Amino acid sequence: MSQPDQEHIEPPGTEAEMTPRADHGEESYRGCDKLTGRVAVITGGDSIGRAVAIAYAREGADVLISYLSEAEDADARETARHVEAAGRRCVRVPGDIAEAAQCRAIVDRAVAEFGRIDILVNNAAFQRTYQSLDEVPDEEWEYTFRTNITAMFRLAQAAVPHMRPGSSIINTTSIQSDKPAPMLLAYAATKGAVSNFTAGLAQMLGGKGIRVNAVAPGPIWTPLIPSTMPDEKVKSFGEDTPLGRPGQPRELAGIYVLLASDEGSYMTGGIHAVTGGTPLL
């Protein structure tokens, strides 16, 4: 895949503005009832969140997706369309997970609509790029942490009382947790925290029969890339991986399904790399 025609787009960016469009498994993912009758809460209604929602629905799960604002409503509606085409329910909840009340509202809505939560996918994230330390605004540093890691804590804290043994929490970390790029200083720092949070929470919740894992993507083609990265980085995005290309959101769906399903029943506390071959040690 290449991005020869991609121009910078205003953050957070939308799927419709991407050239080429990302592949979320709309045409390729085939389910086989691995999540029949389960309820999943997924933060992020586009890109990786869309790929996970499509896969979960085709595996038999009902889904609640949360997303930031009306600017992302079209992407969230498109995700819901694919979930409903699979014969499953999709509840859409807009709002900023950087706010504590919104995290509680997401969980409350899921419980009101479905009666329980079986899978919590903490996926939504915020990033910006800066070339020097003094360019990073105080408020943006704090917002990045509130969105990328504090919200995971708040969502898990609210959701766990409604989760039964066999339930699963899956956090999206990043290769940046292990190989931080200086221009992504705040984002990379939060992803290091996500990996540590995952390992600790897995130990805390093991006695309840709730598994906690993280997925660490490498360079995945999502709206965050053309909306937050310099043009020259976008043009060569993913070329430095052993596979020589960026990944598509659909290429992450399988690991999220495995970690949510009974086939991953002895997997907890792990950080699972999907990086195109770049090692995560």
Q: Could you list the active site residues?
A: 187
Exposure string over 47-60, b if 16+ CB within 10 A, otherwise e? bbbbbbbbbbbbbb
Q: Which of 75, 90, 183, 81 is nearest to 129 (CA)?
A: 183
Spatial separation of the C-alpha atoms in residues 37 and 19, rounded to whole Å: 36
Q: Which of 124, 70, 115 is nearest to 89 (CA)?
A: 115
CA distances from 174 to 122, 179, 193 (A): 13, 9, 11
Residue 98: phi, psi to the nearest 5?
Answer: -65, -15
